[in-house]
Amino acid sequence: MSLDLSLLFRYRVSIARIGETDLFHWWESSALTDEGRYALSRLFRQTAEWAAIELAIEAARLRHEALVPPGEHLTLFNLGPVVEYTFTAWLQRVRARGGLGSIAAFPKMAGIAHGSVAEAFQDLGLPLNEIKPRLITDRAIQVAHSSSDELQTQPLRVLRSLLAGYGWGSRQQFLAPYVTVS
């Protein structure tokens, strides 16, 4: 697999953070906020950062799954069973080796702009390419159509298409980006 799992991790954590209640409020999570991390550190003294990350990513995944129409699709938080199995195994190895420092710094949120998604992406150093979506509804945005092999052959293209879909959202108005698969 040519997918850079540390990059996928960075994208997931960053989007999960942007969508939390104190920023764009796309899902009901405060796990990665200063308050959430403080509360989790009181409950999980040794693994608070990992607990925060897992809770925030799961909140984002559930929100995406609730909004994306039925059928074969990929989202940033569900790239299909093969990728998800590989990602989970990789994440467990990273945790066992010593944690976050070995893969990515926790997203710095102190100076993040609260104006637009584009500003938040810029503050986090995430790419936000403009796309012409294939379909927009009041709940989701289809950013592309892909063959089942494209995630294996051009994973960065698929990830960047999904990231671009977030640019169509705004504060408290989330459109779940997805790619249909055939």
Q: Which domain holds residue 92?
A: 5-181
DSSP letters, 10-39, are HHHHHHHHHTSTTTT--SS--TTSHHHHHH
Number of structural domains (the chain) is 1
Packed helices 155-166 and 117-124: angle between N→C axes, nearest 10 degrees: 130
pTM value surpassing 0.85:
yes
Per-residue pLDDT tens digits for 15-72: 999 999 988 999 999 998 888 888 988 998 888 888 899 999 999 999 999 999 998 9
Q: How many CB atoms within 10 Å of residue 170? A: 13
Per-residue pLDDT tens digits for 163-182: 999 999 988 899 999 999 98
